[in-house]
């Protein structure tokens, strides 16, 4: 596969075919993210993508899922996405689900009928970054859109018949807005009611504006106890009809996999034990993005 630049994929797409359809991120302004710094966003040419699909047809016959790589692959023009999905269906008929990152802005560029066309063509899940339900925090980190816009576009993904996975970031509000960020995020997740929530813990990257703010003393990162407190508040404020709340990313201090609503109380009790020092936390040396 002809991968260029930085390749990012969700944790649960680790065994998927990784088909890169775009390089970089169409927004690339979030102050906490250094993944695509220095990379200019562009859509990969048809010939390269077609060659990669042909390669997958020969060498990836045991993989049932495929992920369209790119910081915001759903931003591709509708005709191009349909073309790619058509090639996947034609050459990789054993693939049962295609996934992609999709920002609220990208989803907003698609009509309801276009979203349903993507579902019918094989798009099964969209990964959307909420990061925080607190609009003040979103504005501070230069995230595009506010919580209402993200809620609206997330619900449109579900209404089109695709699964919705939402990512949030513990610690993003800093110590100053920690409680507000955690509570508001749980409330927004409740309104979105996704099938999956992925809670990651903020790790400051040296090539980001947020790292520079931290160095100047303008941003204070919560410590491990503060992150756990946020996690507890966020989970307590999150009600899903039926879904998974995952905090088992490599960045997290306390790995959790919670099936909601049934597993919430047991998970809250586990966090309480960790806060009291009765559950081991991941050593800093083993935390990673």
Whether the pLDDT of residue 53 is over 90: the answer is yes
* Axis-axis angle for helices 147-159, 178-192 (nearest 10): 30
Residues 43 and 23: their CA atoms lie apart, in Å, by 6
At residue 289 the predicted structure's pLDDT band, cuts being 50, 70 and 90, is: confident
Give me the residue label for tokens 């990969």: 44
Q: What is the pLDDT of residue 110?
A: 98
Q: Assign residue 133 a region: left if phi > 0, alpha if psi is -120 to 50, beta otherwise? A: alpha
Q: What are phi and psi of 48, to 5 degrees?
A: -65, -45
Q: Please tell me the predicted confidence (pLDDT) of residue 215.
A: 97
Contact 209, 248 (CB under 8 A): no
Tell me, what's the pLDDT at 52? 98
Whether residue 38 has pLDDT greater than 90: no
Report pLDDT for 133. Answer: 98
pLDDT classification of 62: cutoffs 50, 70, 90: very high
pLDDT band at 268 (very low <50, low <70, confident <90, very high): very high
User: CB of 258 within 8 A of CB of 267?
Assistant: yes
Cis peptide before 34 (omega within 30 of 0): no
Q: What DSSP string describes 246-258? A: E--STT-SS--EE
- Cα–Cα dist 262/30, whole Å: 35
User: What pLDDT does 39 receive?
Assistant: 87
pLDDT tens for 126-143 read: 999 999 999 999 999 999
Computed over every residue of the chain, the mean pLDDT equals: 96
Indicate whether 263 pLDDT > 90. yes
Q: 94 is written with which tokens?
A: 């054993």
Q: What confidence tens digit (pLDDT) does each residue in 87-135 have?
A: 999 999 999 999 999 999 999 999 999 999 999 999 999 999 999 999 9
Is the pTM higher than 0.85? yes
Between the alpha carbon of residue 98 and those of residues 14, 67, 73, 125, the distances in Å are: 13, 6, 12, 7
Q: Are 170 and 119 in contact (CB under 8 A)?
A: no
CA angle 204, 206, 210 (to 5 degrees): 55
How high is the pLDDT of residue 254? 96
Which tens digits make up the pLDDT trace of 172-228? 999 999 999 999 999 999 999 999 999 999 999 999 999 999 999 999 999 999 999
E strands, the chain, are 17-20, 22-23, 42-43, 65-69, 97-101, 123-131, 163-170, 196-201, 243-246, 257-260
Average of per-residue pLDDT across 261-286: 96
Q: What are phi and psi of 238, to 5 degrees?
A: -100, 125
pLDDT band at 84 (very low <50, low <70, confident <90, very high): very high
Which pLDDT score, from 0 to 100, does residue 177 have? 98
**Contact criterion met (CB below 8 Å) for 242 and 197:** no
Query: Does pLDDT of 250 surpass 90?
Result: yes
> Mind spelling out the 3-state secondary structure of 138-191?
HHHCCCCCCHHHHHHHHHHHHHCCCEEEEEEEECCCCCCCHHHHHHHHHHHHHH
Would strands 196-201 and 163-170 be described as parallel, antiparallel, or unpaired?
parallel
Query: Residue 78 and residue 206: Cα distance in Å, rounded?
Result: 36
Query: The tokens of 130 are what?
Result: 């909420």
Encode pLDDT of 11-30 as tens digits: 889 999 999 999 999 999 99
């Amino acid at each position: 596969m002809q991968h260029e630049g930085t390749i990012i994929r969700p944790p649960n797409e680790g065994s998927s075919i990784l088909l890169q359809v775009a390089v970089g991120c169409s927004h690339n302004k979030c102050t906490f993210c250094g993944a695509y710094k220095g990379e200019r966003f562009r859509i990969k040419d048809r010939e390269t993508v077609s060659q990669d699909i042909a390669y997958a047809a020969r060498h990836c016959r045991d993989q049932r899922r495929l992920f369209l790589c790119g910081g915001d692959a759903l931003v591709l023009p509708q005709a191009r996405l349909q073309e790619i999905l058509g090639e996947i269906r034609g050459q990789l008929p054993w693939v049962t689900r295609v996934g992609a990152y999709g920002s609220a802005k990208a989803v907003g560029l698609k009509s309801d009928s276009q979203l349903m066309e993507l579902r019918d063509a094989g798009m099964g899940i969209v990964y959307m970054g909420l990061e925080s339900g607190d609009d003040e925090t979103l504005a501070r980190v230069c995230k595009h859109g506010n919580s209402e816009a993200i809620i609206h576009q997330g619900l449109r993904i579900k209404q089109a018949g695709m699964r919705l996975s939402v990512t949030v970031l513990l610690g993003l509000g800093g110590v100053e807005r920690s409680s507000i960020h955690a509570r508001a995020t749980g409330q927004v997740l409740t309104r979105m009611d996704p099938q999956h929530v992925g809670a990651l813990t903020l790790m400051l990257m040296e090539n980001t504006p947020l790292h520079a703010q931290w160095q100047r003393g303008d941003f204070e990162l919560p410590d491990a106890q503060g992150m756990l407190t946020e996690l507890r508040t966020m989970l307590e404020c999150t009600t899903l009809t039926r879904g998974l709340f995952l905090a088992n990313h490599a960045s997290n201090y306390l790995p959790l996999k919670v099936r909601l609503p049934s597993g919430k109380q047991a998970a809250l009790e586990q966090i309480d034990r960790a806060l009291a020092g009765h559950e081991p936390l991941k050593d800093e040396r083993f935390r990673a993005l």
